[in-house]
Structure 1
Amino acid sequence: MKNLVTLIAGLMFGTGLILSGMANPAKVQNFLDLFGTWDPSLAFVMGGAIAVTMPGFWLVTRRAKPFFNDVFHLPTRTDFDKRFVSGAAIFGLGWGLGGFCPGPAVTAVPLAAQGTIVFVVTMLIGMVAAKYFVLWWDRRTWDLAGKTSQL
Structure 2
Amino acid sequence: MKLIATYLIGVVFGVGISISGMANPAKVLNFFDIAGEWDPSLILVMGGALITTLVGYKLVFGRNAPIYEPHFYLPGSRSIDAKLVGGSAVFGIGWGISGFCPGGALPALGTGRWEVFVFTIALVAGIFLARLLPNFSVRKEAKAARI
Q: Match of 1:40, as an amino acid?
A: P
Structure number with the higher helix fraction is: 1
Q: Which blocks of at least 5 consecutive residues in structure 1 are unaligned? A: 140-151
Distance 2:122 2:106 in 1: 12
Shift of 1:75: 2.3
Match of 1:143 in 2: none
Cα deviation digits, residues 97-149 of structure 1 (max 9, x gap): 0101101111111211011111111111111111111x2x379xxxxxxxxxx
Q: What are the within-5 Å matches in structure 2 for residues 25-40 of structure 1?
A: 25-40=25-40
User: How many pairs were matched up?
Assistant: 137
Q: Look up the match of 2:47.
A: 47
Which 4+ stretches in 1 moved above 3 angstroms? Answer: none
Residue by residue over 1:35-80, the C-alpha shift from the partner in whole angstroms, topping out at 9 and shown as x without a partner, is 2211001111111111111011011101110000000112232211
Q: Is the counterpart of residue 64 in structure 1 residue 77 in structure 2?
A: no
Structure 1 residue aligned with 2:114: 114
Number of the residue aligned with 1:14: 14
User: Does the Cα contact within 8 Å between 2:32 and 2:38 map onto a contact in 1?
Assistant: yes
- Mapping 1:68-147, distance limit 5 Å: 68-133=68-133, 135=134, 137=135
The aligned amino acid for 1:111 is: T
Equivalent-residue separation in structure 2 for 1:50 and 1:92 (angstroms): 18
RMSD: 1.4
After superposition, the Cα gap between the structure-2 partners of 1:52 and 1:138, relative to the gap in structure 1 and judged at 3 Å, is closer
Which TM-score applies when normalising by structure 2?
A: 0.88
Q: Is the 8 A contact 2:14 2:107 kept in 1?
A: yes
What one-letter code is carried by the residue in structure 2 that aligns with 1:9?
A: I
Provide TM-score, normalisation by structure 1.
0.86
In structure 2, runs of 5+ residues without a counterpart are: 138-147
Alignment partners' CA distance in 2, 1:138 and 1:90: 13
Q: Distance in 2 between matches of 1:138 and 1:2?
A: 31
Instruction: Letter of the 1:88 partner, please give it.
Output: S
Amino acid at match of 1:32: F
* Partner amino acid, structure 2, of 1:39: D
**Structure with the greater relative contact order (CA < 8 A, sep ≥ 6): 1 or 2?**
2
